[in-house]
Amino acid sequence: MNNHGYLKFILTVLVLVIAFFGYMLVTAIDRVRESNLRILEKIEMLPGRIQFSARMAPPISGTVPDRQTSAIANAAFFDPEAETGGRLILATSVDTANMNYLINNDAAAAEFNSLCGSSLAERNFEKPEEFQPLMAESWSVSDDHLVYRIKLRKGIYWHDFTDPVTGKKHTDVEVTAADFKFYVDVVKNPDVNCKPMRGYLEDLQEVKIINDYEFEVRWSRPYYGSLAVTLGLSPMPRHLYHAYDGPFDGKKFNDDHVRNRMIVGCGPYMFVRWDKDRRVIFRRNPRYFGIRYGAAPALENIVYEIIKHPNTRFQALLSGDLDRLDLTPDQWVQRTDEKPFRDGTLKKYKYLAFSYTYIGWNLTNPLFADARVRRALTMLIDREKIRKDVYFDLVETATGPFSPSSSYTDPEIKPWPYDPPAAKKLLAEAGWRDEDGDGILEKDGRKFSFTMLQAATSPTQQRMMPMMKETLAAAGIDMKIQNIEWSVYVQRLEEQNFEACCLGWTSPIDPDPYQVWHSSQAGVHGSSNHIGFRNAEADAIIEELRRTFDMEKRIELARRFCRILHEEQPYTFLFVPYSLVAQSSRYRNVRVFPVGMPESLFWVPRNEQRPVPGL
């Protein structure tokens, strides 16, 4: 799926984005695709991102008829009158550590790779329950859902490049079945630092190559997500990452710093260069296979400017140095009456994001071990006031991890109210009292005092955290605020070296909560389950959900899971944000779909096209 396009939405997803969240969340950054270390969002934003639909029917039993060779995903939405050329300049608030999306938990790396990569299939923009062929010409599925037979299109080529280590030039290298097998083998290699992603391929037994253009993906046991995971597979360039004799070395892959500064893909855009802490530049791929099917982006360049401060980003938008920006709620309400908006130079777009924000309580800390305490903390956070004063009512209050529009969300679950008296009663039941009269609760000689991580680049967090601190203090809880840079934030999360954090996730359209919520992922370095949630009943539901194909049963299981989270409150679920987008009016074919605004569809008339400064 070309997020970039497909998931800023969602993504943003991303982040889906990452992204987690578009949306301005209370996250570690101000938009979905840049929010926190959301590994799930990262996965959904990969070249073969794994996305699910809330109303998706069970995978088809037996053989899926071969699609027409000329058919390609979402071709109907590309404008045949589009003129090629022009640019789209975006902004990101933080730089990425490297460009290797397997070992880099940053959502930006996944989004960059989504521009350059491709996958076997992607979901229809308008009807996301439908898969449509992309790199795959056709596929079939066995009756038991264990074997997927894939037939690749011919004539798909890797981007030409010169190896930065050996100096060897690689040109006209065709993508084959072996490149998909290489991808799976790399992810499943225990020495490769991608354990969170490995969970999605846990039951993928093998990729069996039939010939250069046909292969089988074999699963060891039925898994509902196997269809989406299989069709979301993307190839990996062996000639870049295994450019040496002997077996593949996973540790060398992790530490290949020079090659990990570049991207080699087979998708619609080619990586041009990365100016550290300044910008990342991509150029349209003139050999992209989608061109011959009428499904290729028209814009010549995509550029990400690295601009840390939100006001600086907004000024760059007003001056025309940026073409598109995800706005904060206060910018949307208070600053879009300026001249470029009044005269039509800039347009505004708003849609509910597939994401949510939350406060994560580190459950390995004795302060947060009791569910009564966690419920009390939630009831001491005045979400309605935050929603109004910080978000200007441009969010919906979240009740759990699934989208409000999803069938998996239990409509009977209502947000815990802001109720200090009830919260104080719960704290007292849990044994917390102010024994020495200093205004701070204590238990067994320990004060109820903790530190909340705050992302230095998030103005929403900077406004929200003092409000939380005040309401908690009134109940005898001392919340300290630690403002830190994003790179340090990520490291603290990966090491689970924190007491409380404020982050966001992309909401999976069709849930597989394993990576974020299963006990097996708790205590794992770099895990998405960074709060250390362990619950045997939740584990059983998650495992059954993975092997259940009946939709009614899946909804029942998912709602039981939501009720457990509601009672346990391992997260204080905050908000489902709206994506608030400001964009130059030069762009044509701008459309909002259920999952966002695919930028791959945009084009600019030749007389309105602008070059990339300095390129």
Which string of DSSP letters, residue by residue, matches 181-195? HHHHHHHH-TTSS-H
For every residue of 219-288, which 3-state class applies, written as one string? ECCCCCCHHHHHHCCCCCCHHHHCCCCCCCCHHHHHHCCCHHHCCCCCCCEEEEEEECCCEEEEEECCCC
Q: Under DSSP, is residue 128 helix (H, G, I), strand (E, B) or coil? A: coil
Give pLDDT tens digits for 231-253: 999 999 999 999 999 999 999 99
Looking at residue 315, the DSSP 8-state letter turns out to be H
58 has pLDDT over 70: no
Q: Which pLDDT value is given to residue 582? A: 98
346 has pLDDT over 60: yes
56 has pLDDT over 60: no
448 has pLDDT over 90: yes
Span of 49-53, 189-193, 394-398, 595-599 with lowest mean pLDDT:
49-53
Pairing mode, strands 136-141 and 131-133: unpaired
342 has pLDDT over 70: yes
Q: Which pLDDT value is given to residue 64? A: 36
CATH topology of domain 355-576: Dipeptide-binding Protein; domain 3 (3.10.105)
- Tell me what the pLDDT averaged over the chain comes to: 88
Q: Which pLDDT value is given to residue 430? A: 97
Tokens of 415: 């947000």
**Which among 67-76, 180-189, 305-314, 456-465 has the top mean pLDDT?**
180-189
50 has pLDDT over 80: no
What are the backbone angles phi and psi of residue 293, rounded to the nearest 5°? -110, 10
Share of the chain above pLDDT 90, in %: 78
CA-based max dimension of the chain: 77
Q: Under DSSP, is residue 530 helix (H, G, I), strand (E, B) or coil? A: coil
Q: Which pLDDT value is given to residue 526? A: 82
∠ CA 205-551-141 to the nearest 5 degrees? 35
Question: In which band, very low, low, confident or very high, does the pLDDT at 34 lie, cut at 50, 70 and 90?
Answer: very low
Mean pLDDT of 598-612: 97
Q: DSSP labels for 48-103?
A: T-----TTPPPPPSSPPPPPPTT--TTGGGS-TTPPP--EEEEEESS--S-S-TTT
546 has pLDDT over 70: yes
Mean pLDDT of 28-34: 32
Rounded to a whole number of angstroms, the CA Rg of the chain reads: 24
Question: In which band, very low, low, confident or very high, does the pLDDT at 13 lie, cut at 50, 70 and 90?
Answer: very low
Looking at residue 31, the DSSP 8-state letter turns out to be S
Q: Which residues fall within 8 angstroms of residue 121, CB to CB, at 6 or more apart?
A: 73, 131, 132, 133, 134, 135, 136, 139, 231, 232
Q: Which pLDDT value is given to residue 506? A: 84
Question: In which band, very low, low, confident or very high, does the pLDDT at 22 lie, cut at 50, 70 and 90?
Answer: very low
Q: Which pLDDT value is given to residue 511? A: 82
Mean pLDDT of 365-389: 97
Span of 39-48, 128-137, 139-148, 381-390 with lowest mean pLDDT:
39-48
Share of the chain above pLDDT 70, in %: 89
Q: Which pLDDT value is given to residue 71? A: 84
Mean pLDDT of 592-605: 94
Mean pLDDT of 420-445: 96
Q: Which pLDDT value is given to residue 232? A: 94
Q: Which pLDDT value is given to residue 6? A: 37
Cross-strand partners of 481: 452
Q: Which pLDDT value is given to residue 43? A: 29
Question: In which band, very low, low, confident or very high, does the pLDDT at 354 lie, cut at 50, 70 and 90?
Answer: confident
Q: Which pLDDT value is given to residue 19? A: 32
What separation in angstroms does the CA of 237 have from each of 161, 186, 285, 516? 11, 11, 16, 29
Give pLDDT tens digits for 510-535: 788 998 999 999 988 888 899 999 99
For every residue of 211-232, which 3-state class applies, written as one string? ECCEEEEEECCCCCCHHHHHHC
Q: Which residues of 559-571 are buried (b: 16+ CB within 10 A; e: fewer)?
A: bbbbeebbebbbb
Handedness of CA 108, 114, 117, 121 (dihedral sign): positive
Span of 45-59, 333-347, 353-367, 375-389 with lowest mean pLDDT:
45-59
Give pLDDT tens digits for 104-115: 977 789 899 999
Residue boundaries of the structural domains of the chain: 355-576
Distance, in Å, from the CA atom of 72 to the CA atom of 183, rounded to the nearest integer, reads: 23
Q: Which pLDDT value is given to residue 10? A: 35
Q: Considering only CA atoms, which of 582, 595, 531 is closest in space to residue 320?
A: 582
117 has pLDDT over 90: yes
Q: Which pLDDT value is given to residue 105? A: 74
